[in-house]
Each structure stands twice: as structure tokens, then as C-alpha cells.
Structure 1
Amino acid sequence: MAVTVRDVAKAAGVSPSTVSRVFTAPEQVQTSTRDKVIEVASRLGYRPDPTARSLRSGRTESLGLVIPDIANPFFPPIVKAMQTRARTHGHTLLVADCDEREADELETIEAIVKKVDGLVLWASTLSDGRLRELAEEIPLVLVNRHVPGIPELHVSLAPGVTQAAEHLRALGHTSCVFVNCSRPEHLRGKAIRETFDAQGLGLVELGPYDPRFETGLHAATLAIANGATAILAHNDLVAVGVLHGLTAAGVDVPGEVSVIGIDDTLLAGLSIPALTTIRISPQAVATHATDLIVETITGSATAQHLVEVGSRLIPRASTGPAPHRA
């Protein structure tokens, strides 16, 4: 038999109307009471009727997330963690992939915008003007894209990149390559180049390319031609491609060339050798992104609201002393 509102109310020691408000107007319920009701509802397996809630509140109780590439191993853990976090707010999560193309992103947004109460766009390809227009239509949060007047979650690579540069310098590397797969306006390559320069490391930038495994295979050949002893890749997927390309060319990792990725996905620990990488916490990203869009929907987040998630280096077997110090 399905668990009812009255079952949850009795177990939580509150009235049925309080339970209803928790799932239709949570901002009207004290935090301690809301958390208790959500915990009891989850334990009992209670699932509120989304159609009924929508009719009563005018909301869908759904959040939208548009990401560049669902095939990238970086995103599934974030999606899973956002689903979990969304449930604690009484929402479900709808996820769509725009394949990093502006036309596809627009089409995707048009398809889901009326089905959700708010949108999270990851590294959006849309113009600033179009994003401002969209923010007038629906509560909007941007991830890794800055548009004044729109709440933003920024994933900062600066701490991790600094640690990576320090790590390579300590190992005696002076000639490095960065495999860039970012669009020029993201300025990731410029920031990384400045960080490496500050550590006295020479850096050659390759790209920008598409962030694919095949990119790493191609970049490995170019890095060898440049005489690099260390390679920093746009993400773990590209870095694993670099590892395969170097192995195919008979180059020892890390004996001749060290390799560093970005994201710390499952691939990093499974690659051979295990990949040194810059970790971005999926749980932290998911928690902050979900909370920020819910706050934007309820009006408690300001238009200038900025939340930042940091990064850190995870050293593994793919980095070692530069050849002249081996």
C-alpha cells in the first residue's frame, strides 16, 4: 500500500498540512521541521504526487540541467549527486546534453523550459544577451560562465593548476605542453600559461581542440615533437588519450614524459599508469549548483550571487622526475 501524507505526518509528529507545505512551499516551513519531514518521508518511501503539487503551487517541482557532453566521465557523478540533492529540496532533476553546440543548446532549452522551475546551464555557448533574456523568463544559474546579473557557480582550477606547476617544477621539468580544448572566451589557456610562467616553466599551448580521447592521441605526437617532458591535458579523457598516444610511440610514462589530467574521474584511477590529475569534487559542485538554483527560484539568491568550488592536485604514477634528473 502506498505511503500517504497522513502516514508521514503521524511518523514525523506534525500535521498533514505541514507535510503538504514541505513539498509545495518549503520556504514556509521551519528548517528543522522541513528536514525532519523530508527524512521521515524518505525513510517511509513517500513520493508526493507531482501533478497535484504542480496544480496547487503553479510549479513543476523539477530542475533542469543542460551539460555539454553526457559521455564525458566528469558529468555522471555530478548528475547523480544533483539528483540526490534535488530530492532533499522536494525536486526532481531533468538532464539534457547539448553537445557543446549553440543551436542544440537553444533547442534543448526550448524543449524543457516549460517543464522545470529553474535551469542550470553548464559552460553555456549562448550569447550574454540571450542568457539575460532567458534569465528574465526563468530562474537561471550559470556554471563556468560569467554574465553580470545572473547567479553563477564557478569551478576554480587555480589552486589545482598552481599545485600542478609546483609539482612539475619540483620534479625538474622545464618544458611543458598544455592540450587546450576550451573555447577562447573561457581563457583557460591564458590562466594556465600565466600560472606556469610564474613557476618558471615553459609552456606550449596546443589547440583548441574538441575534448575527446582522439584529441589526446593527436596531441601526444605534437608534444613529442615539441620536446616536452610534461603534458597537462584539458581533462582526464584527453589525458588518457595522451597516455595511449605516448605508449604507441614507445615513450615511457613517467620516465620520459609526465602527464597530468583535470577532473579526477574514474578514468584517472583506472589508467595505466594511474593518472596524476587535478580533482574537482562532484559532490561539492552538485550541492552548490542545486542549492543555488533552488535559492534563485525562491528569490533568496541575488542576481550577483557567486559561489566558487576549488580544486587540488592528486599525484599518482603518471608524473615523475624530468629525464635529466632520472
Structure 2
Amino acid sequence: MAVTIRDVASAAGVSVSTVSRAFTAPDQVQARTRQRILDAAAKLGYSPNPAARSLRGGGTGTLGLIVPDIANPFFPPIVKAMQARARRLGHTVLVADSDEREADELETIAAVSRRVDGLVLWASTLSEDRLRGIAEQLPVVLVNRHVPGIPEVRISLSAGIAQAAEHLRAYGHRRCVFVNASREELRRGKSVHESFEALDLSLAELGPYEPRFETGVHAATLVAAHGATAVIAHNDLVALGVLHQMAKLGIRVPQDVSVIGIDDTLLASVSTPGLTTIRIDPEEIAVRAGDLLIETIGARAGGAGSSGRTSGAGGGTGFVEIGSRLIPRASTGPAPTH
């Protein structure tokens, strides 16, 4: 029976992704750790030849990434970072867009899965049963979606939302609006409502809508009618739609209404006024999702079964959490005194 990368990882006491880096990007692995991996590989008779692995196991050397909306400025930096990370580890990345529609996502997965060794699915709209079925056929990592038994990268907004609530309260705001563009609880963890209510901030919710610029345009008029002095939006695109419509309505930001987005895209820093937002690091997401997928592929190749659960360097079970933080800019300020 051929020796697999997982066998080497087990013998060396490291993760599958660390073994992969030791052969494809040795400068990213400590010298002592790399030597231990090389010794284990030599002892087991493991060969890291990519062509041989492809012929033996039918691997393509390609990772799949399916995102909901490639036009959203949040995703291009993630795609770029994942491509760079994959290239350093000896892989390429195939990117596709599901357009946030279940039928399109299924069609895209069916087309892409034939060309890749595994898939990263971002905020999948599919049912848990469908996702489990896909994960049985192909290594899968979910981002912003939880299905027991499937490896997951979870983006936690708890810290960023708590900081946003503290920020608004310090400025004297009391009546706020959350523009929701998600049918599930926002990014899990401590919800927007819990964070705001903990500081005695009133929070009305609009939606759920689609997470697009037009949603913010629509919501801005409702915010004005509601009499709120602060808005937190589902993402930067929605927040920018709010800013755009507020300007058309003659509502000053932040003098009359403060606005906060989520993601910290490039547009947030160049908008007028600059958008206060909750930052999620795109490079960290790309690296962690890519590494977790490579580990999952390695585990499957090593006969770990079809559950998709893997053990990371720290002995985890295929779960990674990414944090967040508030980036204050010019779109937030003191609440109006009238």
C-alpha cells in the first residue's frame, strides 16, 4: 500500500498542511520541524512527486472556491490571497460564482467538482443533507455555514459588533437600526441584538434582504422614517447604499445619522465620508480555508473516511474561527442633540 502524506504527518507529529509546506514551501517551516518531516518521509519511503501523486490518486492539484457574488468587493482580495497561498503549496485555484442562488450553486458545484481535488463553499445556500452528500463525494470546507461533520471556517463578528455598540453608545446614540441581509443569524456568536441590548441601545431590524448596494438604498428611506440616529449594515455594500441614498435625501452623515458597515473592503476607505466598518482579514480567511481544505484532502487520501473531519496541528476537528475588529472612520460621530 502506497505511503500517503497523512502517514508522514502522523509519523512526524505535524499536520498534513505542514508536510505539504515542507516540500513545496520549505522557507515557511522551521528547520527543525522540516528535518523531522524529511526523516519521517525517508523512513517511510514517501515521495512528494506531484505527477506521481496525480497518476496514483487521480488528483488534479487544483482547489475549488465557490463564492456567492464575485462582484462584491469583499471577495477579490480573498480570491487573490487564496491563489497566492495555494501556489506556494503547489496547487492552483479554480474560482466560480453561485450568484446566491441554490440552483446555480448546485450547477456550479457539479461542473467544478470534476476538475478539483476539493471545494471551499462560501455561505452555501444548500440544505444540510445536500452538503453532506457533496462532502461524501468530495473534500469540502464551509465558510460562514455550519453543518455538523463538515470542516468549517467560521467568521466571528462578536468582538467587532461589541466594539461597534460601544462606539455608538460613547457617541450618545440610543436608537439604532440593523439592516439585515442574511436569512440566518449573522455570522453566529454574539448576535447584533445581544451586543446592542447589553449596552441599553434600542435596535430595530429591517429585512432580511439581499446583501447588495440596492438594499442599502431601499433601507435608507426606512431608516429616515424610523427616526434612528445610527445604522449598522450587513456588509459594506449595503452600508454604501445607505450613504448614497442619505445624501440624496439631504440627510447628513454623520451629523444626522451614523453608519457602520461590515467587511472593511477597499470601497469603505475611499467612500465619502469614509465608512466606519468591522474588519474581517481577507488574507487570514484565505490562508486558513486553503490550509484546512488541503488537510481535508490529505485526510481523505489517507483513508480517513468520508466524513470530512480532519485533525489540525493543534488536535482540532476541522474547525477554524476568524475574529473581527472595528475600524472607525468619518461615517460615525456624535448623536444629534435635537
2:113 maps to 113
- CA distance in 2 between counterparts of 1:165 and 1:26 reads 45
* 1:273 equivalent in alignment to 2:273: yes
* Superposed CA offset, 1:278-314 (max 9, x none): 0000011011100100111111824942100000000
1:312 maps to 325
- CA distance in 2 between counterparts of 1:283 and 1:33 reads 19
- CA distance in 2 between counterparts of 1:35 and 1:84 reads 17
Checking the alignment, whether the CA contact within 8 Å between 1:182 and 1:188 is kept in structure 2 is: no
- CA distance in 1 between counterparts of 2:235 and 2:186 reads 15
* 1:75 equivalent in alignment to 2:78: no
Paired AA for residue 311 in structure 1? S
Unaligned runs of 5+ in 1: 1-20, 41-47
1:88 maps to 88
Q: CA deviation at 1:211?
A: 1.1
Aligned CA distance change for structure 1 residues 34 and 108 (closer, same or farther; 3 Å): closer
| Alignment length (residue pairs) | 296
- CA distance in 1 between counterparts of 2:93 and 2:281 reads 19
1:153 maps to 153
2:54 maps to 54
Q: CA deviation at 1:185?
A: 5.7
- CA distance in 2 between counterparts of 1:75 and 1:247 reads 27
Mapping for residues 152-231 of structure 1, pairs under 5 Å: 152-184=152-184, 191-231=191-231
Unaligned runs of 5+ in 2: 13-17, 28-47, 300-308
Q: Which moved more, 1:300-309 or 1:271-280?
A: 300-309
Aligned CA distance change for structure 1 residues 77 and 290 (closer, same or farther; 3 Å): same
- CA distance in 2 between counterparts of 1:273 and 1:254 reads 8
Aligned CA distance change for structure 1 residues 295 and 219 (closer, same or farther; 3 Å): same
Checking the alignment, whether the CA contact within 8 Å between 2:140 and 2:296 is kept in structure 1 is: yes
Aligned CA distance change for structure 1 residues 235 and 32 (closer, same or farther; 3 Å): closer
* 1:301 equivalent in alignment to 2:310: yes
1:38 maps to 25
Checking the alignment, whether the CA contact within 8 Å between 1:122 and 1:144 is kept in structure 2 is: yes
Q: CA deviation at 1:27?
A: 7.2
Q: Which moved more, 1:188-197 or 1:159-168?
A: 188-197
- CA distance in 1 between counterparts of 2:143 and 2:24 reads 31
- CA distance in 1 between counterparts of 2:206 and 2:291 reads 37
Checking the alignment, whether the CA contact within 8 Å between 2:178 and 2:205 is kept in structure 1 is: yes
- CA distance in 1 between counterparts of 2:283 and 2:295 reads 18
1:234 maps to 234
When normalised by structure 2's length, the TM-score is 0.81
- CA distance in 2 between counterparts of 1:82 and 1:27 reads 26
1:134 maps to 134
Paired AA for residue 310 in structure 2? A
Q: Which moved more, 1:277-286 or 1:190-199?
A: 190-199
Paired AA for residue 281 in structure 2? S
Q: CA deviation at 1:88?
A: 1.9
* Superposed CA offset, 1:196-228 (max 9, x none): 111110011011111111111111110000001
Aligned CA distance change for structure 1 residues 288 and 194 (closer, same or farther; 3 Å): same
1:285 maps to 285
Q: CA deviation at 1:55?
A: 2.4
* Superposed CA offset, 1:253-297 (max 9, x none): 111100000000001001000000000000110111001001111
Richer in helix (by share): 1
- CA distance in 2 between counterparts of 1:75 and 1:26 reads 31
- CA distance in 2 between counterparts of 1:159 and 1:246 reads 28
Q: CA deviation at 1:184?
A: 3.6
Checking the alignment, whether the CA contact within 8 Å between 2:5 and 2:19 is kept in structure 1 is: no
Q: CA deviation at 1:71?
A: 0.4
Q: CA deviation at 1:127?
A: 0.7
Paired AA for residue 178 in structure 2? F
- CA distance in 1 between counterparts of 2:139 and 2:52 reads 22
Q: CA deviation at 1:54?
A: 2.6
Paired AA for residue 270 in structure 1? V
Which structure would you say has the larger RCO, counting Cα contacts within 8 Å and 6 or more residues apart?
2
**Runs of 4+ more than 3 Å apart:** 24-40, 48-53, 184-190
